[in-house]
């Protein structure tokens, strides 16, 4: 018997995201999943308890920003990864649970998935299996790219890179108006810098006329090619710009 799609799913962003597991599930599967899952709203700053994750080790992010935080022994805080809409976390293995703790960086909606139903869907629905695989693969490569950003890039470069990361997620229409979905302090922990340095880097990009900080959660990109080159680690771009003024930037950007 075919059941109709659950109302909760019709109201959820993941259902309409064609690259997402939920969009590939049949109505029956969605009903089965929905009946055995748990929707959870998490306020900014709240942490998912170990107890909760023991019962619900598979977490799908439907809106907001979830983070994986580490705390070094002497108190330094690190945000090792960000998870946004459509990301699915499988914390059933020991290694993933040791990684740190999950904290919401903004008000967040989660869907706690039933492991058996999740496995059943992946077994029976090849299209669902493929998008889940692709999603996890994308997470792995995104973590790898982030590691690469942290390895050798300078503060300005890391920030530029992060802005492109955010831009990648915004709608096609307003590609030059980028939303920064997390606070400065968290951004610092994610990029391996101090809040002071984040602040100074934003200011530097603004002084160079590369972008405009509308408010704390929005930036407008003014010189996109220059920002691109900084993000890609072209230190000549930075120095040249600082010395020769804006007209030169445009020439090089064309070439």
Partner DNA sequence: CGGCAAGTTGAGCCAGGTCAACTCCGGTGG
Partner DNA sequence: CCACCGGAGTTGACCTGGCTCAACTTGCCG
Q: What are phi and psi of 106, to 5 degrees?
A: -145, 170
Neighbours of 97 (CB within 10 A): 14
- Beta strands 218-221 and 177-179 are antiparallel
- Beta strands 211-215 and 218-221 are antiparallel
Per-residue contact string for residues 66-105; x = within reach of DNA by CB under 7 A: ----------------------------------------
User: Which residues within the stretch 105-134 sit at the binding site for a second copy (CB under 8 A)?
Assistant: 119, 122-123, 126, 129-130, 133-134
Question: Out of 85, 146, 167, 183, which residue is the one contacting DNA (CB under 7 A)?
Answer: 183
What token pair was written down for 227? 């920002």
As a dihedral over the C-alpha atoms of residue 66, residue 156, residue 210, residue 212, rounded to 10 degrees, the angle is: 40
Query: Judged by CB, which is closer to DNA: 150, or 224?
Result: 150
Per-residue contact string for residues 188-207; x = within reach of DNA by CB under 7 A: ----xxxxxxxxx-xx----
28 contact, one of DNA, a second copy, none, CB 5-8 Å limit per kind? none
Q: Which residues contact 88 (CB under 8 A, 6 or more apart)?
A: 21, 58, 59, 60, 61, 113, 132, 135, 136
Any contact of residue 251 with a second copy (CB under 8 A)?
Answer: no
Residue 217 Cβ, how far from a second copy at the closest point, in Å? Answer: 22
Residue 197 Cβ, how far from a second copy at the closest point, in Å? Answer: 12
Number of amino acids touching a second copy (CB under 8 A): 53
Which residue matches tokens 């946004």?
84
Query: Judged by CB, which is closer to a second copy: 128, or 178?
Result: 128
Burial zone of 151 (CB within 10 Å; 0-12 exposed, 13-18 middle, 19+ buried): exposed
Any contact of residue 213 with DNA (CB under 7 A)?
Answer: yes
Question: Out of 23, 44, 84, 90, which residue is the one contacting a second copy (CB under 8 A)?
Answer: 90
Contact set with DNA (CB under 7 A): 154-156, 183-185, 192-200, 202-203, 213, 215-216
């Amino acid at each position: 018997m075919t059941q109709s799609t659950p109302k909760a799913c019709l109201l959820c962003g993941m259902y309409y995201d064609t690259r997402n597991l939920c969009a590939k599930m049949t109505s029956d599967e969605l009903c089965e999943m929905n009946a055995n899952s748990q929707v959870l709203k998490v306020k900014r700053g709240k942490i998912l308890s170990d107890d909760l994750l023991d019962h619900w080790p598979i977490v799908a992010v439907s809106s907001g920003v979830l983070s994986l935080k580490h705390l070094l022994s002497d108190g330094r805080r690190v945000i090792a990864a960000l998870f946004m809409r459509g990301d699915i976390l499988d914390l059933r293995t020991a290694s993933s649970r040791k990684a740190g703790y999950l904290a919401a960086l903004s008000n967040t909606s989660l869907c706690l998935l039933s492991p058996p139903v999740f496995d059943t869907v992946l077994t029976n629905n090849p299209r669902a299996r493929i998008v889940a695989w692709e999603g996890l693969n994308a997470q792995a490569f995104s973590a790898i790219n982030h590691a690469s950003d942290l390895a050798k890039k300078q503060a300005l470069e890391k920030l530029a890179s992060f802005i492109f990361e955010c831009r990648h997620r915004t709608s096609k229409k307003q590609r030059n108006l980028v939303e920064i979905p997390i606070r400065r302090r968290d951004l610092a922990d994610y990029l391996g810098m101090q809040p002071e340095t984040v602040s100074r880097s934003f200011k530097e990009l603004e002084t160079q006329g590369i972008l405009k900080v509308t408010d704390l959660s929005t930036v407008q990109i003014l010189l996109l090619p220059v920002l691109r080159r900084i993000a890609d680690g072209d230190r000549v771009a930075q120095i040249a710009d600082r010395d020769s003024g804006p007209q030169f930037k445009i020439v090089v950007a064309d070439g």
